[in-house]
Amino acid sequence: MTAKINSLPVVNNDVPEIPVRRMDFVFDDSIPTLWFDGDVFRTMLLTALSCTFPEGERMFMRSVRHFQGGIKKPVLLKQVRAFIGQEANHGHEHEAFNAFMARKGLPTNKIEKFVTAAISREESWLSPERMLAKTCALEHFTAMFAEAILSRPELLSGVDERLVPLWLWHAVEESEHKAVAFDVYQDQVGSYWVRVSEMALTTVLFGFFTTLHTRQLLRAQPEPVTWAQVASGLRSLWGKKGFLKGMLPRYLDYYRPGFHPDQHDAKHLREQGLARLAQYRNLMGKAA
């Protein structure tokens, strides 16, 4: 067996809608470097995002934990603990994935170190309120991306089946906890201006650094990447059936004064995603 899901236990069930699952993925070196249908652009784009996750998730946890002591609502406190548990597991699993890609000769360690240093600088420059607003903004992006994956299973078509569970599990949990940081922000900060201005800034930075890190990984390929390959990859994002198709209204919705993440109900999508995840687990269990 080359990759496995050891189990799908829930290790924290205090908040039924935000269960903390320990996955313990194993990424075998027999998985090809270009694991997304042999497409160098899509593979490196997702790898670039993965490189930001370990320290990014820790930043999310720190930003929420900073305000934890002021929260008086028992339900929200339980949700915060579950949020921290899920994000800790995301960081752990993506560290393992990034190490797997590093064994393929890619500079994932270099990108991870850059991300850690960049976030440290942001935390030294920005107030805790701004860092929490940044977390809310990035959680909006991850929720949009996650629910696109859950609603359009074809978006993962071509991903090596041994890696589909990683992205599927992460998508489900991002959708499950999408409102927690936002609820902490509204409870402890509440400034509309800080929330939306930080989203505008984060949008620019997120796009810039995702492009930068993807370029780093593309330049590290043993064979030069052609403009045709890049153009094909961009079409997979922005084309008629691209990943980002239809996301603009959802993105802009964040700027409404009355916005709340749960206004986009995705419970049925999460249920479908968990059913697919269980099918992969059973399949891989039989292959072990």
What are 41-81's pLDDT values in tens digits? Answer: 999 999 999 999 999 999 999 999 999 999 999 999 999 99
Pairing mode of beta strands 20-21, 10-12: antiparallel
Q: 262 is in which domain, residue-wise?
A: 3-287
How far lies 254's CA from each of 11, 100, 133, 140, 184, in Å?
Answer: 32, 35, 12, 8, 16
What's the DSSP call for residue 10? E
How far lies 105's CA from each of 40, 102, 188, 222, in Å?
Answer: 14, 5, 44, 9
* Residue 38, φ and ψ in degrees, nearest 5: 70, 10
Largest CA distance in the chain: 56
Number of independent structural domains in the chain:
1
User: What is the residue-averaged pLDDT of the chain?
Assistant: 92
The per-residue pLDDT for 6 is 43
Name the pLDDT band for 282 (thresholds 50, 70, 90): low
pTM of the full predicted structure?
0.92
What's the DSSP call for residue 127? -
Average pLDDT over residues 243-264: 94
Name the pLDDT band for 88 (thresholds 50, 70, 90): very high
CA angle 206, 212, 213 (to 5 degrees): 90
CB 275 within 8 A of CB 153: no
Report the range of poorest mean pLDDT among 25-29, 172-176, 236-240: 236-240
* Single-letter code of the amino acid located at 154: E
- The three-state secondary structure class of 12 is strand
Q: Is 264 exposed, middle or buried (0-12, 13-18, 19+ CB in 10 A)?
A: middle
CB count in 10 Å sphere of residue 272: 15
Rounded-to-integer distance, Cα 175 and Cα 172, Å: 5
